[in-house]
Amino acid sequence: IKGENLNGVYSANEFLTRINLMKAYKEGSATPIKAGTKAVIVGGGNVAMDAARCAKRLGAEVYIVYRRTEAELPARAEEVEHAKEEGIIFKFLTNPIEIEATEDGWVKSIHCQQMKLSEPDASGRAKPVPIEGAFVDIDADCVIMSIGTSPNPLIKSTTEGLDTQKWGGIIADEDGLTSKEGVYAGGDAVTGAATVILAMGAGKKAAAAMDKYMQSK
């Protein structure tokens, strides 16, 4: 969306990496982080909850904006409950459409479209649709983008014979074998957003399968 390159906008990965690995919360840190006085987290997954709680502990008033309702939040229920306990404010059926700037190029606010859920489609999932003329502005000096990502499209476009899902995920069997002989894959690039534990398990299975494959050659 417009304004994502402003000062004060972070990806959740960058925000959490700076805090947890680079100790950005310490005075004099070589990689400081600015949570500001008001932080808005865009997304509703477990990583969004982590980013929100870290920003809260850095002293910010924190909002999570999510375009569906609480019932559709992808984060684990206990993560949502812990965020609420720490005072995180949830703005449901709210979809960011622009991040607005101060004169010197820092985040000033986030402009959002109010949403409603349509009737469920054939899969049973209700789609969020805009409410015409309904907008809300949330003041913020920090915005953290925590939305799902898909595998690099270069993988599909440059690897002939590699079968992929419509959303870009690589198709692999339970051992990680793809449609190309001797090529294995695992983790989020196959399953979509999941946990580190599942990705590690997929890696171990694929390693064993690769070893067996090479021994047979």
pLDDT reported for residue 164: 94
Give the pLDDT means over successive 10-residue stretches in the chain (217 positions). 94 92 89 91 95 95 97 93 97 97 96 94 85 97 87 84 92 96 94 88 97 93
Residues 137, 142, 147, 153: is their CA dihedral positive or negative?
Answer: positive
- Token pair of 194 as six digits: 């999941």
pLDDT reported for residue 123: 77
What is the residue extent of each domain of the chain? 9-145, 153-215
pTM of the full structure: 0.76
Helix (DSSP H) and strand (DSSP E) numbers for the chain: 6, 8
- Can you tell me the distance from the alpha carbon of 56 to that of 83, in angstroms, rounded to the nearest whole number? 9
pLDDT reported for residue 193: 77
Of 84, 37, 85, 43, which Cα lies nearest the Cα of 58? 37
pLDDT reported for residue 40: 98
CATH node for 9-145 = 3.50.50.60
Q: Are 92 and 70 in contact (CB under 8 A)?
A: yes
